[in-house]
């Protein structure tokens, strides 16, 4: 079976096969994905994947406690770093998001528990057949976005939140034709041949039951029906 159609070249293929949609429960990694999804706004995800190592280096391994202390000196350094997206608003948002992240942890058990609460603590298993079926946002991502904005996070619109949910396994949005859908908890789709055989078996079973009922009502047909049964 084919992969999801958006994964055709590296590094997207490896990311699709190894990371995308895998349930993630690490606070620092969830923070990293939140920042990277925000950095993607207006760009392709492949662009961000290619810059991912540079981002980790530029932002001290996405350690919120360090990023929250960034000042004018670090801002100047980041704006001159060609290895990341040099957008002042996105860089400033990363710093403010680190502060919001630390403030949230003063109230919540973990960033992990907080984010996963929007999907009830377990992945939502979707069954999309085409990319056109996959939504850009949902009620869950709307709620997540609203709450993150309320807590001072930036670049966390509903579409960005849904992309975060897809990436970190809060939803299984691999198409049903993709092997990863079943591997990540989705119900494996029967092949068309298997479905056809199953329908024929069901049809034959109905016919057999019908003949048996007919024989009970008309015993004289038993000798004839025994050939069929």
Instruction: Quote the pLDDT of residue 218.
Output: 60
Catalytic residues: 15, 37, 45
Nearest to 91 by CA among 113, 109, 67: 67
Residue 202's pLDDT is what? 64
Give CA–CA dist 95/59, Å, rounded: 9
pLDDT for position 220: 60
Q: What are the pLDDT digits (tens) for 22-49?
A: 999 999 999 999 999 999 999 999 999 9
The reported pLDDT for the residue numbered 186 is 82
Given a cut of 90, whether residue 79 has pLDDT beyond it is yes
Helices vs strands, H then E, count in the chain: 13, 2
Q: What would the mean pLDDT of 163-168 be, rounded to a whole number?
A: 98
Is it the case that residue 72 has pLDDT exceeding 90? yes
User: Is 60 exceeded by the pLDDT of residue 190?
Assistant: no
Burial of residue 55 (CB within 10 Å: 0-12, 13-18, 19+) is buried
Cα–Cα distance, 133 to 156 (Å, whole number) = 23
Domain 12-183: which CATH class?
Answer: mainly alpha
pLDDT band (50, 70, 90) for residue 228: very low
Q: Where are the domains of the chain?
A: 12-183, 192-228
Tokens in use for 142?
A: 């709307």
Q: What DSSP line would sit under 91-123, residue for residue?
A: HHHHHHHHHHHHHHHTTSS-HHHHHHGGGTTS-
- Residues 184-202 have a mean pLDDT of 62
Q: How high is the pLDDT of residue 227?
A: 46
pLDDT more than 70, % of the chain: 81
Q: Which helix (H) or strand (E) holds 50?
A: helix 45-50
Please name the helix (run of DSSP H) or strand (run of DSSP E) that holds residue 124, with its range, or none. Answer: strand 124-125
């Amino acid at each position: 079976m084919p992969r999801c159609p958006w994964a055709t070249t590296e590094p997207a293929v490896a990311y699709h096969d190894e990371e995308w949609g895998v349930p993630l429960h690490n606070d620092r990694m969830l923070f990293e994905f939140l920042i990277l999804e925000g950095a993607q706004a207006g760009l392709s995800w492949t662009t961000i994947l290619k810059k991912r190592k540079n981002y980790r280096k530029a932002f001290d391994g996405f350690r919120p406690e360090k990023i929250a202390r960034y000042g004018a000196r670090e801002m100047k350094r980041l704006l001159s770093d060609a290895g990341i997206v040099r957008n002042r608003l996105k860089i400033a948002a990363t710093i403010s998001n680190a502060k919001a992240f630390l403030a949230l942890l003063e109230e919540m058990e973990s960033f992990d528990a907080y984010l996963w609460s929007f999907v009830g603590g377990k992945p939502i298993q979707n069954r999309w057949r085409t990319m056109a079926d996959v939504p850009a946002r949902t009620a869950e991502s709307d709620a997540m976005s609203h709450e993150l904005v309320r807590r001072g996070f930036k670049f966390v619109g509903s579409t960005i939140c849904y992309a975060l949910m897809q990436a970190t396994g809060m939803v299984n949005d691999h198409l049903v034709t993709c092997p990863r859908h079943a591997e990540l908890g989705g119900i494996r789709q029967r092949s068309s041949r298997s479905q056809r055989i199953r329908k024929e078996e069901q049809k034959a079973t109905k016919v057999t039951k019908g003949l048996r009922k007919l024989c009970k009502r008309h015993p004289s047909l038993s000798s004839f029906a025994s050939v069929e049964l």
